[in-house]
Amino acid sequence: RQGQLVPIERSKEELFREMVNDNYEIAMSCGLIEGDKVTITDGPLAGKEAMICKINRHKRTATLNVEMFGDKAGVTVGLEVVENWTITIIEKFSEEDKIQYNFQQKFIMNHINSVQSVCVPYEQL
- pLDDT tens sequence across 60-96: 888 887 766 667 777 788 888 776 555 555 566 666 7
Is pLDDT above 70 for 114?
no
pLDDT of residue 117: 44
For the whole model, what pTM was predicted? 0.51
Buried b (16+ CB within 10 A) or exposed e, 7-33: eeeeeeeebeeebeeeeeebbbbbbbe
33 to each of 55, 57, 75, how far by Cα in Å?
A: 11, 10, 20
Name the more confident of 67 and 118: 67
pLDDT of residue 94: 67
* Per-domain boundaries in the chain: 10-116
- pLDDT tens sequence across 32-70: 777 667 788 888 888 877 778 888 878 888 888 776 666
